[in-house]
C-alpha cells in the first residue's frame, strides 16, 4: 500500500523502517516515504535492531504528490502536534485515504474531526513497541510487544480492512485489529495516567510506581478514570485497571517513561492529553477529579 509516515521521531522512523523493509523483501509492495516536520538534507537514516549492530538505510522524503497518492497516512507525532501536522497536509490527502494516528493520551479526535473528509477513515494505532532516538535520523529498536488498532472515525469496508491489517501485521508483526478500539484506548490512558506523571514528578523508573507509597494515589487516579469513562459510555473496572497498571509497571520496571524523559530533556509533555484529558472530562460531566487534576498541574509546573 502506498504509505507516507508523518514525523521523524523514534516511532516515526520505527514505522518507516519496518514498513519500508517489506518492499525490500517483496518488490510488489508499494512505495513508502517520510514527511518530516521540517526540511532535511538527510538521504539516509541509521537503525539499530534489538541486540544488533546499527546499519544505515536509504531514506525517501515524501512530497505533495506522494501524499496525494498515498492510501495510508501514518501520523507519528506527539498528541499536541497532531492538529498542526494534519493541518499542514490535509489538503493534499486523497479523499479515500486511511489516516492512522499513534500517540499517547486522548482528545485529538475532537481537535481534528473538522479536517477529515467524509470518505476518509481515521484509525488509532496503540503501538507498544519501544524505540529510542539516539540522534537525528538515528534510532534504536528497544522492545517488541502486542499492538492494537481500529477505527475511531469513519468507515472501512471489509476488503480495505483486511488489506491494512495484513500490511501492518507483516510490517510490525504483533498487531491486532480491535472492533472496540476505544476500550483499548481507555485502558492505555489509565496506564499512562499513573505511570507517566508519577515517574515524571518523582523522577523514578517505571517499576518504582508499584511501591507502597504510591498505591493510594494510584487507586485514586483509577477511581476517577472509571467514573469519568462511565459518563462517556465506556465501562471499566477499578480492580482490572489496577492489575493492568501493576503488570505494565513491572514489565517495564527499568524503563524511563516518555513523560519523565521529556521533563529531563526540558521538552513539552503530553500531560494535557493524559491526566489533563481526565480533568477536562470531569469538568464536562461535573465530576471532581482532584488527583488527576493535581498531577496535571504538577507536570505543567515542571514543564515551565
Q: What is the per-residue pLDDT across 270-293, written as a single tens digit (0 to 9) for each?
A: 999 999 999 999 999 999 999 999
29 pLDDT higher than 80: no
Residue 105 region, left (φ>0) first, then alpha (ψ -120 to 50), else beta? left
SS3 264: helix
Instruction: State residue 280's pLDDT score.
Output: 98
Q: For domain 183-303, give the CATH number.
A: 1.10.1040.10
Note if the pTM is more than 0.75: yes
Q: Where does CATH 3.40.50.720 sit in the chain?
A: 3-179
Q: Over range 35-50, report the average pLDDT.
A: 92
CATH class held by domain 3-179:
alpha beta
> Start-end ranges of CATH 1.10.1040.10 in the chain?
183-303
* Rounded Cα gap, residues 170 and 167, in angstroms: 5
> Considering the chain, what percentage of its residues have pLDDT values greater than 90?
84
Q: What is the dihedral of CA 153, 129, 11, 149, to 10 degrees?
A: -10
**What's the distance, CA 33 to chain centroid?**
19
Query: Quick check: 209 pLDDT over 70?
Result: yes
Amino acid at each position: 500500500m502506498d504509505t507516507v509516515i508523518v514525523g521523524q521521531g523514534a516511532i516515526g522512523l520505527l514505522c518507516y523502517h519496518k514498513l519500508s523493509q517489506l518492499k525490500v523483501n517483496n518488490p510488489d509492495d508499494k512505495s513508502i516515504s517520510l514527511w518530516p516536520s521540517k526540511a532535511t538534507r538527510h538521504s539516509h537514516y541509521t537503525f539499530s535492531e534489538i541486540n544488533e549492530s546499527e546499519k544505515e538505510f536509504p531514506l525517501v522524503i515524501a512530497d505533495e504528490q506522494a501524499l496525494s497518492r498515498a492510501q495510508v497516512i501514518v501520523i507519528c507525532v506527539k498528541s499536541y502536534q497532531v492538529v498542526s501536522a494534519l493541518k499542514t497536509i490535509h489538503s493534499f490527502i486523497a479523499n479515500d485515504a486511511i489516516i492512522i494516528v499513534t500517540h499517547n493520551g486522548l482528545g485529538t479526535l475532537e481537535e481534528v474531526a473538522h479536517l477529515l473528509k467524509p470518505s476518509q477513515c481515521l484509525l488509532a494505532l496503540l503501538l507498544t513497541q519501544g524505540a529510542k532516538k539516539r540522534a537525528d535520523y538515528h534510532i534504536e529498536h528497544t522492545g517488541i510487544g502486542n499492538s492494537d488498532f481500529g477505527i475511531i472515525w469513519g468507515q472501512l469496508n471489509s476488503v480495505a480492512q483486511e488489506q491494512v491489517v495484513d500490511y501492518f501485521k507483516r510490517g510490525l508483526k504483533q498487531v491486532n485489529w480491535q472492533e472496540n478500539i476505544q476500550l483499548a484506548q481507555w485502558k492505555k490512558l489509565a496506564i499512562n495516567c499513573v505511570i507517566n506523571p508519577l515517574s515524571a514528578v518523582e523522577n523514578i523508573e517505571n517499576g518504582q510506581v508499584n511501591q507502597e507509597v504510591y498505591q493510594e494515589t494510584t487507586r485514586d487516579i483509577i477511581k476517577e478514570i472509571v467514573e469519568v469513562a462511565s459518563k462517556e459510555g465506556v465501562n471499566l473496572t477499578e480492580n482490572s485497571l489496577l492489575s493492568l497498571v501493576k503488570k505494565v509497571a513491572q514489565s517495564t520496571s527499568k524503563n524511563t517513561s516518555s513523560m519523565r524523559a521529556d521533563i529531563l530533556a526540558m521538552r513539552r509533555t503530553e500531560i494535557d492529553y493524559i491526566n489533563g484529558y481526565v480533568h477536562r472530562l470531569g469538568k464536562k460531566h461535573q465530576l471532581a477529579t482532584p488527583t488527576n487534576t493535581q498531577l496535571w498541574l504538577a507536570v505543567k509546573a515542571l514543564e515551565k
